[in-house]
Structure 1
């Protein structure tokens, strides 16, 4: 008998505690792909566990239809909301969006022009404030270990 598995989408308190990085790849002077990496630091509160954090991240993965990074990256619908300097991500919660940290003007212009964005959720703990080399190492590790999920998204129409 197949057992159905339900993963709840975490609330705004969890989303606010996530570590989020944004960047885009460049070829010459033009951006090719915009990226978002979402993860969570190691447990910080007494009641928080690695398992609960992973379950919450997997709730986001399920709600957005992300697939393992080793598979073909699926289109997950238009989940980005750009309002001036503010960028939000519809991560599947019925009432709340995740506000992304300041993405920079070039990143916002790139995605607002309709170019796709690659969204990755990494399950291993990720500290905030990583530089680009540390983000690359983190991605290499979680992708190789099967602990990263990806999807392609874009800006939602107004």
Structure 2
């Protein structure tokens, strides 16, 4: 069962996304934690590239993300922590996305107030894709304005984020 709220996909869709994190310490802007959300090619009954893109656009719209070719908007603090676990408030009123097992350095940077560049890639990225493939896919996809970005961080206080 897929639950959609105001164009924002529910847990059935979110369970199928690819999430990747990495820490860039060589950026001209200083250290940046990256959080990528993408989707593998259609593989389930009834799943199409169009439906997948609609779900990703619903998430990106609710997050306030913009094309990577434009100014990176600050979308507010969307991450919450409970111990070593992080969840992303992606705009659904009842559900959040759990960030799966980030590396200790990435997690430490974010927990200490570091900025996170949130990226939604509208082109398919297979689960288990390595850094080289992800980097190439993001570069080619960004050239066509199909990478949506925003800056976020850790939310302090407030109950939202763990469901």
**In structure 2, what is the Cα distance between the partners aligned to 1:112 and 1:45?**
36
| Structure 1 unmatched ranges of 5 or more | 1-5
Which TM-score applies when normalising by structure 2? 0.88
Check if 1:105 corresponds to 2:104. yes
Following superposition, the deviation at residue 82 of structure 1 comes to 1.5
1:8-157 superposed matches below 5 A: 8-27=7-26, 32-157=31-156
Give the Cα separation in 1 of the matches to 2:125 and 2:133. 10
- Please give the secondary structure, in 2, of the residue aligned with 1:77: coil
More strand as a share of residues: 1
Structure 1: distance between partners of 2:116 and 2:42: 29
TM-superposed deviation, 1:46: 2.2
1:50 Cα shift? 0.6
Specify every segment of 5 or more residues in structure 2 that has no aligned partner in the other structure, as ranges: 158-163
What is the rounded CA distance, in whole Å, between the counterparts of 1:46 and 1:18 in structure 2?
16
Pairwise CA RMSD: 1.4
After superposing on structure 2, the runs of 4+ consecutive aligned residues of structure 1 that deviate more than 3 Å are: none
- Give 1:3's aligned residue: none
